[in-house]
Amino acid sequence: QVQLIESGGGLVQAGGSLRLSCAASGRTLSDYAMGWFRQAPGKEREFVAAISWGGGSTDYADSVKGRFTVSRDNAKITVYLQMNSLKPEDTAVYYCAAKTSRSTVTYTTTFAYALWGQGTQVTVSS
């Protein structure tokens, strides 16, 4: 069973930056399209960013466009979410997700993904 492991969360002041990473235990992510989602207390899990299998296509929620960047390394071992100009409303648990894919499609809904990480907390103070 492939397990996704997120890292890089923490506490940061508004306007600061964090970079989240997501890796798969024991294998690469070469056969997967990837997504980042977040869930704040009392709210539903929401889409943040997605990247296609080859990395050529990306998609972002309107709330993070221009501030967040999703990427993956050439070896497809790790997927990143660079978060800049963070706001208090970005506070949430952030999850990475993987979907078996070898296309240019990005997936923006939770039900598209079969594999999920355990989440990493991001807290932005005002």
Encode pLDDT of 2-25 as tens digits: 899 999 999 999 999 999 999 988
> For position 28, what pLDDT does the model report?
84
Would the pLDDT of 1 be above 80? no
Give the separation between CA 115 and CA 126, rounded to whole angstroms. 33
* Contact yes or no for 103/48 (Cβ under 8 A): no
72-107 core/surface letters (b: 16 or more CB in 10 A; e: else): beeebebbbbebeebeeebbbbbbbbbbebeeeebb
> For position 18, what pLDDT does the model report?
98
Kindly indicate the confidence band of residue 77, based on its pLDDT and cuts at 50, 70 and 90: confident
78-83 and 68-72 beta bridge pairing: antiparallel
Q: How many CA atoms lie within 13 A of 4 on its CB side?
A: 27
32-39 and 46-51 beta bridge pairing: antiparallel
**Range in 72-76, 92-96, 98-102, 107-111 the model is least confident about:** 72-76
Start-to-end Cα distance in the chain: 40
Over residues 67-76, mean pLDDT: 89
Residues in the chain: 126
Kindly indicate the confidence band of residue 30, based on its pLDDT and cuts at 50, 70 and 90: confident
